[in-house]
Structure 1
Amino acid sequence: MDMPPPLLSPGLRLAARVGLLLGLVLLGGWIIHGFLPALVWAVILAVATWPLYRRAQERRSRPSRVLLPTLATAALAFLFLIPLGLAGLQLAREAANALRWFAEIREHGAAAPDWVATLPLVGEWATGWWNETLAAPEAGTAFLHRLGEGELIGLGRQFGGALLHRAVLFGFALLALFFLFRDGDVLADQVHRVADRLFGPGSHRVADQVTASVRGTVSGLVLVGLGEGVLLGIAYAVAGVPHPVLLGALTGVAAMIPFAAPVVFGAAALLLLAAGKLAAAIGVFAFGALVLFVADHAIRPALIGGATRLPFLWVLLGILGGVEAFGLLGLFVGPAVMAVLVLLWRDAAGESPAALHPPGIDNPG
């Protein structure tokens, strides 16, 4: 029996197949778009920690497909949960102190502390506002009443809902991370083969460049930022800044974002200045500026630019533009995109593959 002739020409059939494939990809992306940030975080964590995971895997005579991925995932989970838990406990204590302070204001009022008048530029205005608003019991009661108990309850519910949503995404990221650890070698091999089939031999260098960028960014931003937080936390404790551990942790997080750390150690210096400790305030600010200068001009360019052969200007643009476009994820996505673009530019300019290929790249997992 003869087969009927095809309804579409070969060119139209190819276009229909491509259109169907793109449609399915877009549909799948729309279905999982709410979980894409969690998936991206899982990939970033897997890529950044893959060399350590491979070393642990090689030390076992018979690597387990369940035990080792579970232990690695649990270790990373605790790495995030322990600092967050400590910060949450500290915030809970501060919130309890604030509630007691509000209750005292309602009952007795509160005169402006002496340090308010010493604030630069705004000291006189702040003292006048405080005395008019909070000094007398009836003024404090009126001010707190204007805050609106219903609004505070509503804000609390919104915060609780946002916290629950992020907890679900964090759990999903850990689940995805487990499977990335378990099947990382297979996935890396598939990525390389698909890239070579779609874009030609050697195109997997783009994936290698992304891998190098993520690892360089983790080293240059996260590890260096945590180091800055530890050093400045010690400085806060020596200088007598209130809550040095909490402020040190905030400094470490802020130091991962360019130009954000001075806001924290500048605030710490202002607290010391308000307490009348001028020398300590100058010392904390000067030490913070020195640590930031060394980190941003010597250590980070070597770690990030050295791993990706990317000029630091493009690293900086990738970080700032990535944060503006994608939030915290942009810290890693932005430099990775810039690294790929520079790689393609150098490839088009005719540089040799040896000059283009980042050194020391392992499978990304």
Structure 2
Amino acid sequence: MIHRPPAPNSANEQKLQRAASAALFAVLVLLALWVVREFLPAVAWACVLAIVLWPAYQAIERHPAFRGRTTWLATVLTVAIALLVVLPIALMAIQAGGEAHDLYLWARTAQENGVPVPDFVSHLPFGSRQVSDWWQANLTQPLKESPAMKGLHGDAIVSFGRHFGARAVRASMTFGFMLVTLFVILQAGPRLSATVMRGARRAFGADGAQLLQRMAAAVRATVTGLVVVGLGEGVLLGIAYMFTGVPHAALLATVTAIAAMLPFCAPLVFCGAALWLAAQGAIVGAIVLAVTGVVVVFVAEHFVRPVLIGNSTRLSFLLVLFGILGGATTFGLIGIFIGPALMTVLMVLWANWAE
């Protein structure tokens, strides 16, 4: 009996096999993503930080002390990121702990005796009588009997504390996994970068690799713009805090800088400080601080930040703003960096299609 070799697959069978292989790969990838879905935020943050740190990584790697020592370099950069996040939180916690006793005494006095009407209420240009009447009806009497405080019963406070604690634990775990992932990415170093670029070229061609580089540049520019502008706003408003007599000006400037790294969040801090000044009777200082804050934030958010991000990503002011705000609305905090990258992809695709 003569055994003949099997006939080669026809073109249609090969197409079906390729389609089946692609479908199987897609299902496996989606299944893997579903399995690790709880860790995707940590991975996303680690990727963003790795993209931002990549130029510094390359510069440090060329130094003789770190040449060929990727593990040491990854450790140094990961520890630096951890300290940049942990130290401000620790300083604020220490400061809050120092003020906790005074805050407790004030709250206890307010529970027993109420809060007297501040002097600045009588000096308001309008609405003084209405504010004073509401304050007298709700806050001058013992707060435990005040109608405005009825909703703040013990069970609600305990429930809020548990919810806040659970969120804090979850955020701490995400931060920890992010640091581990960042260390692994940095330790892989150039090998991982070369693999990603080779895969992009193989899957999407030269245009795909170039698009990936543009997206990385957009993420890097967005982080740089947010951090630089945030630090600038923190310094300028910190000077305003000192001149207007706000206590703990340095700590409040740090909080402002962190808040200013998120679009339009700095007003929450300096407006609160201005209201505190007004409550102490320093109306002129409150007005000066509020006006200074509005001018600084307006210039930073509408001109400086879009220019810093747009020059690197080659996006217009409107697309940068839409990318930041739309990304934050859609994806949360990580969307601040994803949004401009997606806008960059959109513009590249449009330019290629229009040619």
Compute the TM-score of the two structures, normalised by the length of structure 2.
0.89
Question: Could you tell me how far 1:204 is from its partner in structure 2?
Answer: 0.6
SS of the equivalent of 1:9 reads helix
Q: Which residue of 2 aligns with 1:354?
A: none
Partner of residue 74, structure 1: 79
| Displacement after TM superposition at 1:216 (Å) | 1.0
Listed as ranges, the matches of 1:263-282 within 5 Å are 263-282=268-287
Q: State the match for 1:89 in structure 2.
A: 94
Query: How far apart are 1:336 and its partner, in Å?
Result: 0.8
C-alpha distance in structure 2 between counterparts of 1:291 and 1:105, whole Å: 36
- Would you say 1:197 and 2:220 are equivalent positions? no
Work out the percentage of aligned pairs sharing the same amino acid: 42
Shift of residue 210 of structure 1?
Answer: 1.1
Cross-structure match for 1:54: 58
Task: Give me the whole-angstrom Cα distance separating, in 2, the residues matched to 1:278 and 1:310.
Answer: 42
- Tell me if the contact between 1:235 and 1:284 (Cα under 8 Å) persists in the aligned partners: yes
Instruction: Judge conservation of contact 2:306–2:321 (CA < 8 Å) in 1.
Output: no
Q: Distance in 2 between matches of 1:46 and 1:38?
A: 12
Structure 1 partner of 2:144: 141
| 8 A contact 1:119–1:274 mirrored in 2 | no
For residues 4 and 134 of structure 2, the distance between their equivalents in structure 1, rounded to whole angstroms, comes to: 93
Distance in 2 separating the partners of 1:246 and 1:58: 37
Equivalent in the alignment of 2:187: 182
Q: 1:296 to 1:50 in 2, by over 3 A?
A: same
Aligned twin of 1:224: 229
Give distance in 1, aligned partners of 2:19 and 2:88. 52
Aligned to 1:130: 135
- In the TM superposition, residue 296 of structure 1 has moved relative to its aligned partner by 3.4
Unmatched segments (≥5 aa) in structure 2? none
Matched, 1:310 2:315: yes
* Matching residue within 155, 160, 163 for 2:168: 163
In the superposition, relative to structure 1, how do residues 68 and 123 fare at CA in structure 2: closer, same or farther (>3 Å)? farther
Question: In 2, distance between residues paired with 1:48 and 1:34?
Answer: 23
* Secondary structure of the corresponding residue to residue 206 of structure 2: coil
Structure 2 counterpart of 1:53, one-letter code: Y
Query: How many residues get paired?
Result: 348
Secondary structure of the corresponding residue to residue 315 of structure 2:
coil
Equivalence for 1:20:
24
The one-letter amino acid paired with 2:24 is L
Alpha-carbon spacing, 1:279–1:102, altered in 2? closer, same or farther (3 Å): closer
What is the alpha-carbon distance in structure 2 between the residues aligned to residue 136 and residue 166 of structure 1? 39
Deviations 1:198-233 (A, max 9, x none): 112232111111111111111211221121112101
Distance in 1 (CA, whole Å) between partners of 2:266 and 2:122 is 26
